[in-house]
Chain A
Amino acid sequence: MELATDLSCEQKVIDELSTSVIEACTNAMEHGNRLQEDQQVEIHFNLTESAIEVTVLDNGRGFDFENWQPSEDLMRERGRGILIMREFTDNLAYDYSEDGRFRLRLTKHINSKP
């Protein structure tokens, strides 16, 4: 979150990206690594002129992000992380790294401050 504040782009973009990365890391720790303390979540940031790409790797079996549909129940207490990531990023993609870890890529376009 603090890293992103150094970028010259709108605060809303930073907020949406930061919130998405928090959700991605929470999922990686809870569902990927199942809260096992000896399992690590790895995060990479790649900044280009037009976008930030954040990659989050965990040791879980992964999740079909593309076909997941949110529950219609507004009062559910869980299950909004993917929805938030989808809405707040410009692209959400997943695959597996060469060593078999689940890899989620979040891309957010950045635009310079006016």
Chain B
Amino acid sequence: MRIKERKRDGIAILELSGKLMGGPDSETFNQTLQALIHEGIKNFIVNLERVKWVNSTGLGILISGYSTVRKNGGELKLLKVSERIENIFIVSKLYTVFKSFDDEDEAVNSFS
């Protein structure tokens, strides 16, 4: 998995690509979040458009990130979840936890 990060209106937008399936992905994602939190960022949008596969371990990575951000007083929301990945969120009932958007503007505005 690769992470490309940028900031917009004080929100960190993390564009993930590749496979989110555990292994070193967990550390990479966590370190990225921690570094941005250290910079003072509270709110995050995770763009999953370029993520091809997520497995149950990958879901755990997103949950861990969600908890980390919430503990710091912020929110983590998802952007452009493909049908394949959405299907996994539905069976695991995680769609009730993560707020998800198809449009970046809409996601950014949801924080205000």
Contacts and interface: CB of A to CB of B under 8 A. Distances in A.
Contact of A84 (B22, B56, B84): B56
Contacts of A77: 60-61, 63-64
B96 to A, nearest CB: 7
A76 B66 CA distance: 11
B11 interface: no
Contacts of B22: 26
B97 A78 contact: no
B2 to A, nearest CB: 19
B59 A80 contact: yes
B65 to A, nearest CB: 10
A1 B22 CA distance: 18
Interface string B15-37: 00000011000000000000000
Name which of B56, B61, B93, B96 has the most chain A CB atoms within 10 A of its CB.
Answer: B56
Nearest to A27: B56
B79 to A, nearest CB: 20
Interface in B69-95: 83-84, 87-88, 91-94
The number of chain A residues touching the other chain, given as a range, is 20 to 34
Interface in A64-114: 74-81, 83-84, 87-88
A76 B63 contact: yes
Contact of A87 (B83, B91, B94, B97): B91
Contacts of B57: 26, 78
Interface of B: 21-22, 53, 55-57, 59-61, 63-64, 66-67, 83-84, 87-88, 91-94, 96-97
8 contacts: A15-B84, A15-B87, A26-B22, A75-B63, A77-B61, A84-B56, A84-B92, A87-B91
